Structure 1
């Protein structure tokens, strides 16, 4: 298993419950695919460097985890089909 870091940005106009539901959903995806979830840092609302879909802010979440190499494709697929995710970036962390 490899170590990864994924930073994703959610829409800022979501209700608090919906935001927490999405964070829990993506954490659950890691554990359901036999990954090991590390720390999850919710940075909260921050100003974007440029507008994305007419939004000037976004809700940032940094998630660290260990998973199989093919898992990141599944996670990114879920990010793509979710209308509530503005952007995401996954990095492989060298040990």
Structure 2
């Protein structure tokens, strides 16, 4: 089991319920894949460093979790096919 963190940015045009549903979806992917969520930190709306697809702001969420090495590949796949996700990154913490 390795420690990971993922940061993803959602489109601010989504309704609050849709944002919560997408966050729960990603938490479910981690937990159903055998991972354990350590922390979920919702940063809220923030200004983007540069415009992405005509969007100047995004809703940031950081999730810290532990999982087997195969899980980040599946999580990345789900990020790519989910509408409303502007950007995402998954990083392995080596401490």
TM-score by length of 1: 0.98
| Equivalent residue pairs, number | 95
Deviation of residue 22 (structure 1)? 0.5
RMSD over aligned CA atoms reads 0.6
Task: Quote the residue 1:57 is aligned against.
Answer: 57
Verify: 1:12 aligned to 2:9, yes or no. no
Point out where structure 2 has 5 or more consecutive residues left out of the alignment.
none
Task: Quote the residue 1:37 is aligned against.
Answer: 37
4+ residue segments displaced more than 6 Å: none
Tell me the SS of whatever aligns to 1:92: strand
Task: Quote the residue 1:90 is aligned against.
Answer: 90
Tell me the SS of whatever aligns to 1:13: coil
Point out where structure 1 has 5 or more consecutive residues left out of the alignment.
none
Deviation of residue 47 (structure 1)? 0.2
Deviation of residue 70 (structure 1)? 1.0
